[in-house]
Amino acid sequence: MSSPHIAVYGATGHTGRLVAAELRARGKDVILSGRDAGALKALSEELGGAPVHQATLDDPAALRELAGQANVLIHCAGPFTHTGEPVATAAVEAGCHYVDHALEQHHTKWIFDTLQEPARRKGITMVTAMSFYGGTGDLLAGAVAEGLTGIDRVITAYAVSGWRLTTGAKQTAELLFADTRRITYTDGEQHVGYVEPRNAVFPFPPPLGPRTMIAPVPFSEVVTVPRHVRTRHVEAQLTAHTFEEEQAFTSEHVDAATRAGSRFTVATQVITADGGSAGQVSGHDLWRLSALASVEAAVRLAGGHGRPGVYSPAEAFAPGPFLRDLERLGLFTLTLPGKAES
């Protein structure tokens, strides 16, 4: 293979299209993949003729063949509750580096529990939850916690407005909130079971100020953050306002420009006995942030900057510098404690 090839599974979805277009704009060799041959052909024409590989989830040989042609596979098809296992398994079997957009706690737990050893044996790097929800919190937690000891808890609060959910995001949200077997991390241990939602107020710095939050939300941070931050408690929260917006769940067919209008602040508090520290990102278009975070990860892996195994975003890449690189792409404004930059 002459130059690294990056395969995009779920290329015809909103996230997949952003990922594929960004890779093409950077002059990368892209393989467009998914279940719908017609939609893939149309996308290929739009992108100037990128190669296409159709593969359905119930065809492991076709998925392996896809991964066998690529150096890195970016998995953008969801919900990952349904799509995660076959695509990630194919990547390991074919010895192809892997990056995904999963938010689902159970997928994240499964990939660490099941594919860690196989990934090491194959010498590939797998980075899960490299996206806006889950991934930003994991990176911020890693950057803010750097150098701190005696950490009691890590809270990541997402303030999001203008989020117009795609079909995949809507299905994912419905599955997550209906799940009574949630994963939590309290008293230094992972638990699985029903969690009573509670009212919380998170003190975002101005101009947002204190906001009413859904707490906890079942995001992947509770699985990933304890892997690299020694703490007793991890929690993710989301502004209640996000789902109260009338159009959040009724905008599956809006255009990409409308979707780009979302605004976000993600703030992480790392609490210790003497106070602790905090950091945040603030910007717009969470879809673009998701897509470019996965592209940045894939380009690093294609360039040989990975270690064999399964990792969270902050385990795979130094979190402060990785967030600064995303800031340089114009994705957000980043505020970190001074020590987190190295």
Ligand X SMILES: NC(=O)c1ccc[n+]([C@@H]2O[C@H](COP(=O)([O-])OP(=O)(O)OC[C@H]3O[C@@H](n4cnc5c(N)ncnc54)[C@H](OP(=O)(O)O)[C@@H]3O)[C@@H](O)[C@H]2O)c1
| Residue 321 burial (CB count, 10 A) | 13
- Give the DSSP letter of residue 338: G
Instruction: Name beta bridge partners: 284.
Output: 263
Residue from 21, 32, 43, 77 binding ligand X (CB under 6 A): 77
Residue 98: both structure tokens together: 């892997």
Cβ–Cβ < 8 Å for 20, 32: yes
Write down the least CB distance from residue 62 to ligand X, Å: 11
Whichever of 137 and 306 has its CB closer to ligand X, that residue is 137
Residue from 128, 262, 290, 312 binding ligand X (CB under 6 A): 290
Could you give the angle at which helices 135-145 and 286-302 cross, rounded to 10 degrees?
Answer: 70
Residue from 4, 24, 39, 260 binding ligand X (CB under 6 A): 39
Instruction: Name beta bridge partners: 155.
Output: 235, 269
* Residue 16 touching ligand X (CB under 6 A): yes
Write down the least CB distance from residue 147 to ligand X, Å: 28
Contacts with ligand X, 323-342, as mask; x by CB under 6 A = --------------------
Whichever of 125 and 172 has its CB closer to ligand X, that residue is 172
Residue nearest to ligand X (CB): 78
Length of the chain: 342
Judged by CB under 6 A, which stretch of 132-140, 207-215, 277-285, 295-303 contacts ligand X? 132-140
* Residue 44 touching ligand X (CB under 6 A): no
Q: Which amino acid is at 122?
A: K
Residues engaged in binding ligand X (CB under 6 A): 10, 12-16, 34-36, 39, 57, 76-80, 82-83, 101, 103, 131-134, 166-169, 172, 290
